[in-house]
Every structure is written in C-alpha cells, then in structure tokens.
Amino acid sequence: MQENDNNNLELLSCESSEIFLRYFKDSLSGLIQSQFVVQNRHANENLPDDFLVNHISGSFVEMVLWWIKGRMKQTPEKLDQHFRAVIEPILACFHKS
C-alpha cells in the first residue's frame, strides 16, 4: 500500500470506496477467523467469536485509513508495532491458559 499511495488515496475518496473497504474487511475477517479464533480457543465463552473477529478486522481497516489519510508517515513496521500493542492484550484474554 505504501508504494501506491496516490492510488490508495484516489480509491478511498471515490464512490466505490465503501465497496473496497467492505471487501478489505471481509477478507481480513476470514484470515483473523482462521489464524486467531480457530487456532486459539478462547476461555471467555460469553464473547462471540464473530464479535472478536469484527472488532479486530474493523480496527485494522481503520488503522490503514488513518495511516493513508495521514500521508503514510509511519513505516509499515511501526504500524505493525502499534497494532500489535493494541490487539495483543485483547487476544491474550482468549488464549488457553
């Protein structure tokens, strides 16, 4: 995404941006479901899996939007650090003890 910053800004400002963002989030949701929820059965049965997946994928999409709109000042590595700092404590609650 960093290499195509002008294209990304155009995509996110056009009429079809809503479709792109929905597709992006849905694609992420499948990955999150298979990588985190299925592989790491959580201990808190009161929280639905789909809620957790929606929260993580939504957070990631919003982070990418924030990054692009801010002219991608942070490196992808820094974004990864920021995202993990926020998401890993949430995921830690759902790993088996």
Query: Among residues 75, 91, 73, 82, which one has the least CA distance to residue 36?
Result: 91
d(C-alpha 60, C-alpha 54), whole Å: 10
* pLDDT in the model for residue 97: 46
Q: Is pTM beyond 0.85 here?
A: no
> What is the residue extent of each domain of the chain?
2-92
d(C-alpha 97, C-alpha 87), whole Å: 18
Is the model more confident about 8 or about 63?
63
Mean pLDDT, residues 35-40 taken together:
67
Query: Which 8-state DSSP code applies to residue 29?
Result: H
For 46-79, the pLDDT digits (tens) are 678 888 889 999 999 999 888 888 888 999 999 9
What's the pLDDT band for 12 if we cut at 50, 70, 90?
A: low
